[in-house]
Structure 1
């Protein structure tokens, strides 16, 4: 049985080897890429009506600008996570960045709907390739313990800040310059990363080249693509939509087929022993919950601010700046919290605080100082959410050898992207049903009733998740006296 280095000793200030200049530059390159990829998930949302008018999308087809990206980003991430282990993380990272730059240039210049959709598909595939490669380069560049936790904390903070910043930056670019600059920014970043990355990033290809589990790769990719497509269709239309249930049915069948294949092949894409580890399995579920609940809070509050309070898209986006600050602070303090109380307690306490901060948001309509409450609650929720996210990242990638870090970070990235994709359609369906089901309530009052109901359920999910994780995640081993 292979042994691995134990985590760093107790204390946030535990001694760690000094970080070299090369490591710092490599970390900067990887963090820049992660921030940019997170930005892409939200930067176009507020610009969709303007894009539709200029490029020629029908109103009903605007959703495909987001769906095409989300389906590919989530659907291919596990496959690329394993490919990074087998054929080289640095090589895949740089190739993915090059594809992202080319796809973004195409999207920024697109004058036809089909061309823009091709660009979004390519951006999604590039995201699926780059994100697990970047994370595994990060985890293999720093030893398990305080240094890695700190790097993961900064990475998590920037990813969450990127998602929030996307809403603000998308509104600014659309109103002040052009929505096309939401694409062109990626081109600039890609050129910079490709100029510096080859010099500072080290290749980490596996010395042994096992055969790729093609049946497993095909079934899990089809399952993820079908599942994400089904969820997005449910959010755009309804949970009774036949396309949604048909796609989710295909996803379920493919997942069962994947599990059977992984039990029988000699060299599985995802060894089931990895999924059976409590820190990996339950840690990734905590990640899905963290991303699903917090990103859906952003969606629900966007609806509240624009439909109930009459904010413009730019005003609504700027409101989330306080949450963005909270996420950055949460990412920076999370490693210290994990060092003090352990990953399990950090995840549980973070979910409790996030849920508690969401509860007042369900009562905004009856509060006179609603804006003050919103800003305080979203700030606290942002801090707590990042503690959970960093805790899940540490749990999901700990205790595994470097040869399986691409797999581990691929699973973690998949959890992140499924959570982002899952949260909005589920909460949208709840809000729509609650708003429509309130007899005699219409217009802004109906929207408020639906949003309040969805926020209350969101808070309940956080608290229930905290209780579950308190029992499901393993306790940290006692440290020697």
Structure 2
């Protein structure tokens, strides 16, 4: 992005965009520092990085490449990015709702029953940071479009799968494809819309995509499974995704960075490949162990899993030391350690981790409660998630309106308090509970905090990173959320399985299962309570975000 004098071009709609550096409070001494890439956060002599959330007047930032975006193109950008974010989790929701039928149709062994879901998170989680760093060099649009079309191909492949190996393999490639799209969304939105209502709406709609997609996937998965078949759910996804991918070629902004060097040279010299490999292998091994634990409670004591877990922990401990070594020698660093010293940024990441762990657990175990305890069909179970979907849509619309008017601590704390009720209701529910009592309210209230927090987090994080590393920032954010999903599912599944196993001798099957599910729901309550404490304390100095600036 070549620096130019700020100018207002002829208005072609409400989206007159002036791309400005998004890093707040980073006082730089030279113009070069303002345009440095992600490896340029020198430890020596760098001013402190502070994240301002109060919306106070901040000195004008360098603007680059003023651009006008028509109303039609702006709306298409929102629909395109939110649509793929929606399809990302919708496929997982469909899979969970129809897993018993899929397992029966293609013969998935009991020991691999959760692997089609686990390998998706495993593949995506390993590559989010790498693709985020690559996107900042080769261009966010190019990587997003490539990943989106690959997502179409492998979604169709899942629908055509005939064996357990095929569906596990294609779900793995699907995870790789989506890891090209998720990190780039923040950068694409901030380069399309100026600060203000339209950017807030874009982040809110993109935030709505993930939790809403999973919930609606549960609904549609049950409907398709009990009618035309689960394969058609994936064919429908592929058709929608193809339309979104094609529209993105026209709508998404082309983003290029300031450099006279070739892309190949920059990929070799400006990406911290060793750091990316260290953290990706560490997280990949950890997610693998968690997936094995989710599949069977007895897998955790396995010697191989213990060794892999130990290697993962050692690599995670080594990663910040490697980053510190890189920054001290003015070399590329994947995620500068300095970023984690900011309490607001750290609070957002910790909150998202526990929040996504809670949401994933509520949705997963509510599905099991309806189908395995109450004996409902996939269709009957899925219909019960409609309140979940309605609340998710409503909360994101309201958040887009309130985000620039209400302090983020108030938004996140109130929503966390409301959501905290959901796991309590499910942990105390009776086996034969009427849906309109505890289950209805649990599903209705559970998406409030995740949807609010996702939108707030995207805006806060986009303001904390300079434009040239926003794809990497998006990778960090989605990595945290994805990791929270995996950890939440693994821990709650292991707890539920352990309690059920120790209770099976004295109780019938349904009551033993329910006792295990109660343990999982109380664990989810603890996770949701952690979110409440973190946002209340960590964001206490936060003001409002997302305000339009002249």
| 2:358 pairs with one of 267, 290, 293 | 293
Out of 132, 143, 149, the position equivalent to 2:194 is 143
Q: Measure how far apart 1:114 and its partner are.
A: 3.1
User: Counterparts in 2 of 1:7-406, with a 5 A limit?
Assistant: 20-208=71-259, 209=266, 211-238=270-297, 239-265=300-326, 266-365=331-430, 369=434, 371-406=436-471
**C-alpha spacing 1:52/1:264, structure 2 compared with 1 (3 Å):** same
Shift of 1:293: 0.3
Shift of the 444–260 alpha-carbon distance from structure 1 to 2, 3 Å rule, reads same
Residue 314 of structure 1 and its aligned partner are, at CA, apart by: 1.9
The answer on whether the counterparts of 1:98 and 1:194 sit within 8 Å (CA) in structure 2 is yes
Question: What is the CA-CA distance between 1:7 and the residue it aligns to?
Answer: 7.2
Contact in 2 for aligned 1:104/1:123 (Cα 8 Å): yes
Higher relative helix content: 1
Q: Contact 2:362–2:521 at 8 Å: present in 1 too?
A: yes
* Distance change (3 Å), C-alpha of 1:357 and 1:234: same
- 1:35–1:161 Cα contact (<8 Å) kept: yes
Partner secondary structure for residue 371 of structure 1: coil
Q: What is the CA distance between 1:297 and its match in structure 2?
A: 0.8
TM-score (norm 2): 0.80
Instruction: Measure the CA separation in 1 of the matches of 2:544 and 2:79.
Output: 34
Partner residue in 2 for 1:450:
516
Deviating runs (4+, > 4 A) in structure 1? Answer: 2-10, 366-370
Shift of 1:110: 2.8
Q: Distance in 2 between matches of 1:108 and 1:310?
A: 27
Q: 1:199 to 1:382 in 2, by over 3 A?
A: same
In the other structure, the counterpart of 2:529 is 463
Q: Distance in 2 between matches of 1:152 and 1:129?
A: 18
Q: Structure 1's 73 and 180: CA in aligned 2 closer, same or farther, altered over 3 A?
A: same
Relative distance call for 1:465 and 1:477 in structure 2 (3 A) is closer
Q: Report Cα offsets for 1:125-179 as digits up to 9, x if no partner.
A: 0011111123321233223444322221121122211011111112222221222
Structure 1, unmatched stretches of 5+, are 11-16
How well do the aligned residues superpose, as a CA RMSD in angstroms?
2.6
Q: Matched residues in 1 for 2:436 and 2:507: separation?
A: 24
Deviation by residue 1:399-426 (Cα, 9 ceiling, x = unmatched): 3221121121111111221122222221
| 3-state SS, counterpart of residue 332 of structure 2 | coil
Q: d(CA) in 1 for partners of 2:432 and 2:116?
A: 36
Number of residue pairs the alignment of both structures matches: 473
1:335-363 CA deviation, whole Å, 9 max, x = no partner?
33433332233222222221123312222
TM-score (norm 1): 0.90
Q: 1-side partners of 2:174 and 2:218: how far apart?
A: 18
Structure ID, larger Rg: 2
- Would you say the 8 A contact 1:328–1:383 is kept in 2? no
Q: CA deviation at 1:366?
A: 7.8
* Residues 1:63 and 1:232: Cα distance change in structure 2 (over 3 Å): same
Contact 2:416 2:448 in 1 (8 A): no
